[in-house]
Structure 1
Amino acid sequence: MWQLSNLVEGTITVAVLAAGLAVWDAIDLRWWMVGLGIAGVAVYAGVVPQWRYVVHRWEVSETAVYTQTGWWARERRIAPMSRIQTVDYAETAIARLFGLATVTVTTASAAGALQIAGLDQERARRLVDELTLKADAVEGDAT
């Protein structure tokens, strides 16, 4: 479902850009330039969701939350359970149509929060509960 949601978001992006190109064409742009632009956006919409699916990963252990994100440059982050401050659940309008949600794990890190996007809503709710219980059970605050 996550791929389908990304495909819909990509399609909406293509539609908006195609409308912009149509307006640009009405101003005096050659037809082949518009076609080339639409083809480029269509390739983007077809490739990006697949690429995201391949490179984005996450895992929860007894001691930490691990995430991997990035397209060209990969970023791997680890948030120890003792450093977790909040665990949030969010749904965008398009994600809700496909039954998907995002879990955000906030720590005191200068790098910002960890996000796990594209989860099934029920799995996301269970993950929020699991992380909340695990973070609460850890002694100390890792300082």
Structure 2
Amino acid sequence: MTASNTITMADPLWRPSTKAPRLWAITAALFWAPVIVAEIVCAILISGLPTWVVGAVGAVTVFCAAVHILMVPMWRYRVHRWEISDTAVYTRTGWFTQERRIAPISRVQTVDTERGPIDRMLGLATVTVTTASSAGAVKISALDQDVADRTVAQLTAIAGTNSSDAT
């Protein structure tokens, strides 16, 4: 293949909801809260710990929590993309390790919507496209509820016109 015949793959066009960073920040904060509480309880209950150890562990924890809560959601939002065409579902996800997934419409078996408590609070949903693939389902996370509903309807319509078997 010559350089002029090189095929480049375009990135998916659409981002998650603008509320996605808030969802990811809240989720990260809920992860770090018990860790910080446990460190405080240990510092109080375990006598004889040097103050510098408690301070160093606390500082590292606060730094890691701040990065996870404040910076990672914004980075994820910059990276996450999704798109649906008549032939495939495309996603790009991750923040540290990035993954691109392409699921041919002919392989779609089910399309599901999931809304956890924080998703519902923010009006968001995740669309899961299950395919006949050993790699597992393709997830389109943090979509506005109306976008998720339209996406499910679009995927259902496209898959319904496809006559091939999704196995």
Q: Fold-level match, TM-score > 0.5?
A: yes
Distance 1:115 1:6 in 2: 15
Q: Write out aligned runs for 1:64-143 (5 A).
A: 64-141=88-165
Structure 1 residue 54, shift from structure 2 partner: 1.3
* 8 A Cα contact 2:92 2:100, kept in partner: yes
Q: Deviations over 1:27-57 (max 9, x none)?
A: 2363312233222212221122112111111
Question: 1:53 aligned to 59, 77, 95, which one?
Answer: 77
Unpaired runs of 5+ residues, structure 2, are: 1-18
Which deviations, in whole Å up to 9, do the C-alpha atoms of 1:74-93 show, x marking residues without a partner?
Answer: 22111111110000001011
Q: CA deviation at 1:142?
A: 6.4
Greater Cα radius of gyration, structure 1 or 2: 2
Contact in 1 for aligned 2:88/2:104 (Cα 8 Å): yes
Output the TM-score relative to the length of structure 1: 0.91
Counterpart position of 1:21: 39
Alpha-carbon spacing, 1:36–1:75, altered in 2? closer, same or farther (3 Å):
closer
Q: Percent identity?
A: 45
Matched pairs, number? 143
Do the aligned residues in 2 keep the contact of 1:5 with 1:94 (CA within 8 Å)? yes
Query: Equivalents in 1 of 2:166, 2:136: separation in Å?
Result: 17
Q: Following the alignment from structure 1 to structure 2, what is the Cα–Cα distance between the partners of residues 97 and 47? A: 22
Q: Equivalents in 1 of 2:159, 2:70: separation in Å?
A: 38
Q: Whole-Å Cα distance in 1 between the matches of residues 43 and 65 of structure 2?
A: 16
- State the superposition RMSD in angstroms: 1.6
